[in-house]
Amino acid sequence: MIRRTLFSDLQARLGQGKALLVLGPRQVGKTTLINQVISAMGTTPGVKLEGDDPVTRALLSGAGIARLQSIVGTARWVFIDEAQRIPEVGLIAKMLVDQMPHVQVFISGSSALEINNSLQEPLTGRKFEFFLYPISWEEYEAHVGYLAAETSLEERLVLGMYPDVITRKADAREVLRQLTASFLYRDVLAITGIKKPELLERLLQALALQIGNEVSYTELAQLLGIDKATVARYIDLLEKSFLVFRLTSFSRNERNEIKHNRKIYFYDNGLRNALINNLNPWEVRSDIGALWENFLVAERRKQNAYHRREVRSYFWRTTAQQEIDYVEESSGALLAYEFKWKRLPKHRFPKSFLANYQASGTFVDRANFRTFVAPAPPAQP
């Protein structure tokens, strides 16, 4: 199994009288991670409640403390898997935490929309919350080794970082097709109540083809034949279903800076490529720049989250078409990054940005990318 960075974080929070809530897209390994933590607890008895199981949902429907005590019995832990599928799961979790402090509660969820509605308020002050991403470069490298990871970078740009895609290499493309169908039809459509799956798929494909470019809701609305408000609502739902995330533009009121624009990225390159039905090898692709940018921004997001770096992330662009791919702000300092698959001597940073904001600028290319997406390399023997 692939060792996850969050494993130690979850272990450190055991036995503190609070639920451990792990959010993230389907199939990123939430259940596996929690099972690993439970396994490390030894032979402690426990109860697992499957949110996808209709019998479990019926059993928990309207459950009070007496029924929960009967279900839990002598268990020392309770794992509520895919909690968003269980009605009033927040109240159930609250009763477990408040009335059974000796029981460690684990919860997994695949939709921020449903989790926020049902869990966040009842569990205020009663949970530690974690977000699990697809496999990070740090985790991948630790699993396959430094050299193997380096030599398979191009493959990862195309097929992505989902656990099953990595561990079932021969079936990677079929795994991605199944994942795409699961996201679109099992989760997003079922949870949001969207009635036109073909419209949602077209929107995702349009976003997939605009990676690295600013996204105009007005242009998307015209392309899809719907209104701007519907585009905004659909993109918000896609974010809360953990398919995409956005970067906003950086501005401190310089007159020629673009304000209030956004770029949209996918959490995983493989899902993005499956959506546009292009899983061709990198050598024959015309979108290597977009793949590179999406990979780097997603990996940086994982690293910042897992290592608790307090940063804000942006891109920067002016009306004169000067642009920086990625900007991080931390403790008042600005770090600017330009992403180039192959850096050429002609590539330069916009001097106005570096001068106006006393920022440092770094190019991230194929040769030095590791310093951007992972901690320092392991010591060589």
Residue 310 forms part of a structural domain: yes
182 and 310, same domain (yes or no): yes
Please report the sign of the dihedral spanned by the C-alpha atoms of residue 199, residue 204, residue 207, residue 209. negative
Q: Which pLDDT tens digit goes with each residue over 10-54?
A: 999 999 999 999 998 889 999 999 999 999 998 889 999 998 899
- What is the three-state SS of 93-117? HHHHHHHCCCCEEEEEECCHHHHHH
Instruction: Find the CATH number of the domain harbouring 85.
Output: 3.40.50.300
- Residues 285 and 157 sit within 8 Å (Cβ to Cβ): no
| pLDDT tops 60 at residue 257 | no
Helix (H) or strand (E) holding 230: helix 228-240
User: What is the biggest distance separating any 2 CA atoms in the chain, rounded to whole angstroms?
Assistant: 71
Sheet with 104-109, side-by-side order of all strands: 46-50, 77-81, 104-109, 19-23, 127-131
Domain end point (choices 82, 101, 131): 131
Give the integer Cα–Cα distance in Å for 165 and 152.
13
Q: Which pLDDT tens digit goes with each residue over 284-326?
A: 999 999 999 999 999 999 999 999 999 999 999 887 778 899 9
Residue that wins the pLDDT comparison between 109 and 257: 109
Q: Tabulate helix, strand, coil % of the chain (nearest 5).
A: 45, 15, 35
Q: Which residues contact 337 (CB under 8 A, 6 or more apart)?
A: 296, 324, 325, 326, 327, 328, 361, 362, 363, 364, 372
117 and 40, same domain (yes or no): yes
What's the pLDDT band for 255 if we cut at 50, 70, 90?
A: low
183 and 126, same domain (yes or no): no
Residue that has been written with the tokens 């390994």 in this structure: 29
Q: Give the phi and the psi of residue 324 in degrees, each rounded to 5.
A: -125, 130
Strand partners, 312: 329
Domain end point (choices 95, 113, 131): 131
Residue that wins the pLDDT comparison between 320 and 258: 320
Q: Which pLDDT tens digit goes with each residue over 128-143?
A: 999 999 999 999 999 9
125 and 147, same domain (yes or no): no
Residue that wins the pLDDT comparison between 183 and 357: 357
Residue that wins the pLDDT comparison between 162 and 112: 162
Give the integer Cα–Cα distance in Å for 325 and 363.
10
Number of Cβ atoms within 10 Å of the Cβ of 38: 19
How many domains does the chain contain in total?
2
Q: What percent of the chain has pLDDT over 70?
A: 91
- Residues 188 and 241 sit within 8 Å (Cβ to Cβ): yes
What's the pLDDT band for 357 if we cut at 50, 70, 90?
A: confident
**Of 84-88, 151-155, 230-234, 297-301, where does mean pLDDT reach its minimum?**
84-88
142 and 126, same domain (yes or no): no
Residue 197: predicted pLDDT:
76
When pLDDT is averaged across residues 247-252 and rounded to a whole number, the result is 86
Could you tell me the residue range of the domain that residue 288 belongs to? 137-373
364 and 234, same domain (yes or no): yes
pTM equals 0.91
Number of Cβ atoms within 10 Å of the Cβ of 98: 12
Strand partners, 317: 323
Which tokens hold the place of 333? 């300092």
| pLDDT tops 70 at residue 379 | no
Number of Cβ atoms within 10 Å of the Cβ of 295: 25
Instruction: Find the CATH number of the domain harbouring 186.
Output: 1.10.10.10
